[in-house]
Amino acid sequence: MSMELALCLITLFGLAGIGTPIGYSIMLASLVYLGMAGMDLALTGEKILQGLYKSFVLLAVPLFIVAANIMNAGTISERLLNFCVAAVGRFRGGLGHVNVVASLIFSGMSGSAVADAAGIGKIIIEMMTKDGRYSGGYAAAITAASATIGPIIPPSIPMVLYALVSNASIGALFLAGIVPGLVMGAVLMAMNTYLAHKRGFVLEEPVPLRQLPKVTANAFPALLMPVILLYGIYGGVTTPTEAAAVAALYALLLSGIFYRALSIKGLYSIFVESARASASVGVVIGGALILNFIVVSENIPGMVSAYLTGIDMHPLMFLLLINVLILLLGCVLDATTIILVIVPLFIPACKALGIDLVHFGVLVVVNSMIGLITPPYGILLFVINAVTGIKLRDIISEIWAFLGVLILALVVLILFPDLVLFLPRLFGYAG
């Protein structure tokens, strides 16, 4: 390791350790490297502009954020919840099942775990804790766990970021996320069923079957969004970025005109909040673009690839080790940083070992989402604590069972890549 890189890393971890936002930490650390290496500091701005100019796909990020915020602001979330209650609320632990199914459906609209937890999650936690039917910790824990499905089923902001650093097909990544998302939902519902019977949770009064068509009709326009997105991409009508614009426009028309649940003032607030969220992601992306330039300059990906191929490591062992590393990093780093800064180091090694980049990308995103509920960092735990006031220790005490089954689902996806690649191959992906 060169002295310049060592100083860069010391600066990065030192600033992050004292609470400096990770995007600013990366940028300042990169400036230290450029200064010590005698390079022009203007390279910072140049690399950011080049990276953004060449990455049309990044436009999808703010557009998906806008779509998610519009969905949360209108009555769409409530309509979807009513549909989920009518469909699965009649079973033991019914509201827990509603929580998971709502996340599965909402994930096809937002692409953001935080949007899922802070929006529809807050509503269902209030439903679950009403009259003491579920403890606050349990309601918050299953909400946080189910929100991790948000970026797995398309659309997915983390998958867009992974496509940026790997050049993998966004369309294939989106399709590859559907089955893993359903697997995650299935294991969460199985654990909820087990805990519901063990703890004797009350049965909810079932919605009469004659009301189901009406409830479904109310939610049907919202349920169409993921269908429109995937048809647009795979029907050759839109690029993934254009599909993100269609998603935002559809959400706006649905909330503002069809459901008449959005005012001009409310729309202004949505745009302001979306701009802030997009800017925070953009700062990390900008820092990652500079840091990736430094990493390439030091030939770190090449050295990692040469080492791994030199010791003749089996691809499965490589996947297991990398996923353990990402799980550990998820305890202290957010998903965006892991995908933009850490994952590019291993892309050349994946290619050398013959690992499919779409399969690897889905594993990375699933793993990074599990990191969102992993103590001590667990950003989703803090988000739910902030929006509901439920004590953090109560949430953490209940999260372990759901964390365990999600890790089990991750292991299944590692061992059986055909589960991940089945749908992309069905639609012509050659991987």
Exposed/middle/buried for residue 214 (C-beta within 10 Å: 0-12, 13-18, 19+): exposed
Give the highest mean pLDDT range of 50-59, 167-176, 399-408, 422-431. Answer: 399-408
Q: Specify whether the CB–CB gap between 400 and 375 falls below 8 A.
A: no
* Rounded-to-integer distance, Cα 379 and Cα 385, Å: 10
**Neighbouring residues of 93: CB distance < 8 A, sequence distance ≥ 6:** 192, 193, 195, 196, 197, 201
- Residues 166-171, mean pLDDT to the nearest whole number: 87
pLDDT tens, residue by residue, 374-402:
876 677 887 788 777 888 888 888 999 99
403 contacts: CB under 8 Å, gap ≥ 6: 145, 370, 373, 374
Taking a C-beta distance cutoff of 8 angstroms, is the pair 421, 358 a contact? yes
Structure tokens at 359: 């399969």
pLDDT reported for residue 41: 79
* Torsion from C-alpha of 141, 143, 147, 153, nearest 10 degrees: 120
State residue 225's pLDDT score. Answer: 76
Sign of CA dihedral 413, 414, 419, 423: positive
pLDDT in tens, 200-251: 877 767 777 777 788 888 778 777 777 777 778 777 788 777 887 888 888 8
What would the mean pLDDT of 249-264 be, rounded to a whole number?
81
Q: Is the pLDDT of residue 187 over 80?
A: yes
How high is the pLDDT of residue 183? 94
What pLDDT is stored for residue 407 in this prediction? 94
Q: Which of 116, 195, 179 is nearest to 148 (CA)?
A: 116
How far is 388 from 171, CA to CA, in rounded Å?
Answer: 36
- pLDDT digits 0-9 by tens, 292-342: 788 777 777 677 667 766 677 788 998 998 998 888 887 767 788 788 888
Task: Report the range of poorest mean pLDDT among 2-11, 14-23, 66-75.
Answer: 66-75
DSSP 77-100: HHHHHHHHHHHHTTSTTHHHHHHH
pLDDT value of position 371: 86
pLDDT of residue 335: 80
Residue 404 has pLDDT above 90, yes or no: yes
pLDDT of residue 285: 78
Q: Provide the pLDDT confidence category of residue 420 given band limits of 50, 70 and 90.
A: very high
Instruction: For the chain, give the mean pLDDT.
Output: 82
Question: Whole-angstrom Cα distance, residue 331 to residue 393?
Answer: 16
If you average pLDDT over residues 414-431, what whole number do you get? 88
- Band (pLDDT 50/70/90 cuts) for residue 108 is low
Whole-number pLDDT of residue 327: 86
CA distance 213 to 59: 38
Name which of 148, 71, 164 is nearest 104 in CA terms.
Answer: 148
pLDDT of 280 over the 90 cut: no
